[in-house]
């Protein structure tokens, strides 16, 4: 990590998903992520700080094997709308959601 302080968004709302089985370990996600959300573990990318994801989709657009999915701007809007409606619980994604979260072990 570059030692820069990351801006944190609403906890648990980012739509970011990573399929580690598909990852080829190219490191593009680490290179393009402005928030240092990813790290390399055992030759594959992993998510180290999901709550720092600003859903810019740079990682998804630069992944050569489509191992990363994020729906730009959806997480925070989803959380705000559910809070306004008095709903609680973990934020989720719509029908296009990919399984798994790619977190490091």
Question: What CA–CA distance (Å, rounded) separates 105 from 25?
Answer: 16
The pTM score is 0.67
Beta carbons within 10 angstroms of residue 58's beta carbon: 19
| Domain assignment present for 33 | yes
Closest CA to 51 of 76, 23, 86: 76
Strand extents, DSSP E, 19-97: 38-41, 44-47, 68-69
* Per-residue confidence (pLDDT) for residue 45, from 0 to 100: 97
Residue 5 has pLDDT above 60, yes or no: no
The answer to whether residue 77 is domain-embedded is yes
* 51 falls within a domain: yes
Q: Quick check: is 6 in a domain?
A: no
**Is residue 28 situated within a structural domain?**
yes
Closest CA to 24 of 67, 61, 85, 75: 67
Domain that holds residue 21: 17-84
Judged against a pLDDT cut of 50, whether residue 99 lies above it is answered with no
Banded pLDDT at 54 (limits 50, 70, 90): confident
Q: What domain count does the chain have?
A: 1
Return the closest-CA partner of residue 39 out of 18, 56, 60, 22.
18
91 in any annotated domain: no
Residue 104 lies in a domain: no
User: Which CATH number do you get for residue 66?
Assistant: 3.30.70.20
Task: Answer whether residue 95 is part of any domain.
Answer: no
Q: Which residues contact 86 (CB under 8 A, 6 or more apart)?
A: none
Mean pLDDT, to the nearest integer, of 67-90?
68
How confident is residue 55, by pLDDT bands cut at 50, 70 and 90?
Answer: confident
pLDDT tens per residue across span 8-29: 666 777 889 999 999 999 999 9
């Amino acid at each position: 990590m570059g030692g820069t302080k990351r801006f944190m968004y609403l906890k648990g709302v980012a739509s970011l998903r990573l399929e580690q089985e598909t990852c080829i370990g190219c490191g593009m996600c680490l290179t393009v992520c402005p928030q240092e959300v990813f790290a390399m573990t055992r030759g594959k990318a992993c998510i180290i700080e999901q709550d720092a994801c600003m859903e810019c989709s740079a990682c998804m657009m630069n992944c050569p094997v489509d191992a990363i999915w994020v729906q730009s701007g959806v997480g925070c809007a989803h959380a705000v709308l559910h809070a306004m409606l008095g709903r609680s619980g973990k934020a989720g994604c719509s029908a296009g959601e990919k399984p798994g979260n790619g977190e490091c072990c």
